Amino acid sequence: MIITLCGGGSTFTPGIVKSIALRKDELEVDEIRLYDINEERQRKVGVLVDWILHEDLGLDIKLTVTTDKATAFTDASFVFAQMRVGGYAMREQDEKIPLRHGCVGQETCGCGGLAYGMRTIFPMVELIDDVEKYAKKDYWILNYSNPAAIVSEGCRVLRPNARIINICDMPIAIIDVVCAALDIDKKDVEYDYFGLNHFGWFTSIRHKGEEVLPQLREYIKEHQILLPDSYLKGMGSLMAKKPEETADEHPEQNRHTKGSWYYVWKGEYEIMECFPEYLPNTYLNYYLQQKEFVEHSNPERTR
Residue 81: strand pairing partners: 6, 143
The question of whether 139 is a catalytic residue gets the answer no
Nearest by Cα to 168 from 112, 108, 223 = 108
CA distances from 242 to 61, 96, 254, 259, 270 (A): 44, 18, 19, 9, 24
Alpha helices, DSSP H, located in the chain: 13-22, 24-27, 39-51, 69-73, 87-100, 110-134, 148-158, 170-182, 213-223, 229-232, 235-240, 261-274, 284-288, 290-295
Burial of residue 252, with CB atoms counted within 10 A of its CB: 0-12 exposed, 13-18 middle, 19 or more buried: exposed
Position 237, amino acid: S
Handedness of CA 69, 13, 175, 189 (dihedral sign): positive
Cα–Cα distance for residue pair 230/250, rounded to 1 Å: 10
| Catalytic member of 35, 263, 283, 286 | 283
The question of whether 169 is a catalytic residue gets the answer yes
| Catalytic member of 30, 68, 129, 169 | 169
Give catalytic residues, as residue numbers: 169, 283
